[in-house]
């Protein structure tokens, strides 16, 4: 592979983009690195085409990240990637969506419905991505995830890290959706988040909610 490096370094921008479609992982990674180093805008339309049309999932993924590195990724491209048949791309698309969540309503809506994605890794990334949105509907999505996945400690940590300062509202929404919820670990950690704010009304509401179970 050392013998191939000079050849890749001398490759044209279209040739580098074509190498992203290679089945050779070293070729793909090196080509992506070189594209980012060159910052050649002529690569953008080629990368957009590759991201949409390649039959190789890894190529579509490299193309998306290369577009992001060239500051040429837009919300519409990310929204399409959220529907990709390969769950790895849907997972990465959630990460790529984060800078657009406060500026693209369409993309934000597409992210919120990812609670229905059947792949746990996608849902796990979603739990973390939702923490980047100030939209109150993000809390509703986190509640949906909690009802599906909170028994898993890693999921629980990701969900609660995104709940952050809205723990009291999250608890109210959670109890409203499932009044009979009994999850000692989740409730204990929620109680710690709410108590840590030292807001007497929120603490009182939490204790009242526990008592109504």
pLDDT, tens digit, 9 for 90 and up, residues 50-108: 999 999 999 999 999 999 999 999 999 999 999 999 999 999 999 999 999 999 999 99
Look up residue 81 and give its two tokens. 């990637």
Q: What is the pLDDT of residues 107-152, one digit of tens each?
A: 999 999 999 999 999 999 999 999 999 999 999 999 999 999 989 9
Find out whether 209 and 193 touch, Cβ atoms under 8 Å.
Answer: no
- Count the neighbouring beta carbons within 10 Å of the beta carbon of residue 97: 26
N residues, the chain: 213
Residue 206 has pLDDT above 80, yes or no: no
Q: Which helix (H) or strand (E) holds 186?
A: helix 184-195
Q: What is the pTM of this model?
A: 0.88
61-75 per-residue burial string, b: 16 or more CB within 10 A, e: under 16: bbbbbbbbbbeebeb
Question: Whole-angstrom Cα distance, residue 50 to residue 40?
Answer: 16
């Amino acid at each position: 592979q050392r013998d191939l490096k000079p050849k890749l370094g001398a490759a044209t921008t279209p040739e580098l983009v074509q190498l992203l479609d290679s089945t050779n992982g070293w070729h793909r990674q090196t080509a992506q690195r070189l594209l980012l180093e060159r910052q050649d805008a002529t690569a953008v339309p080629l990368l957009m085409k590759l991201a949409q049309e390649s039959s190789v999932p890894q190529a579509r993924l490299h193309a998306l990240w290369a577009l992001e590195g060239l500051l040429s990724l837009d919300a519409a491209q990310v929204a399409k990637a959220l529907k990709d048949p390969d769950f790895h791309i849907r997972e990465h698309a959630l990460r790529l969506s984060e800078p657009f969540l406060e500026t693209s309503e369409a993309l934000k809506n597409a992210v919120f419905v990812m609670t229905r994605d059947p792949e746990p890794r996608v849902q796990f990334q979603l739990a973390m991505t939702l923490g980047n949105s100030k939209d109150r509907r993000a809390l509703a999505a986190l509640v949906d995830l909690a009802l599906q996945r909170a028994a898993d400690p890693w999921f629980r940590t990701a969900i609660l890290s995104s709940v952050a300062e809205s723990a009291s509202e999250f608890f109210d929404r959670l109890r409203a959706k499932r009044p009979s919820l009994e999850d000692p670990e989740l409730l204990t950690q929620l109680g710690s988040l709410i108590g840590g704010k030292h807001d007497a009304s929120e603490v009182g509401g939490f204790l009242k909610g526990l008592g109504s179970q």
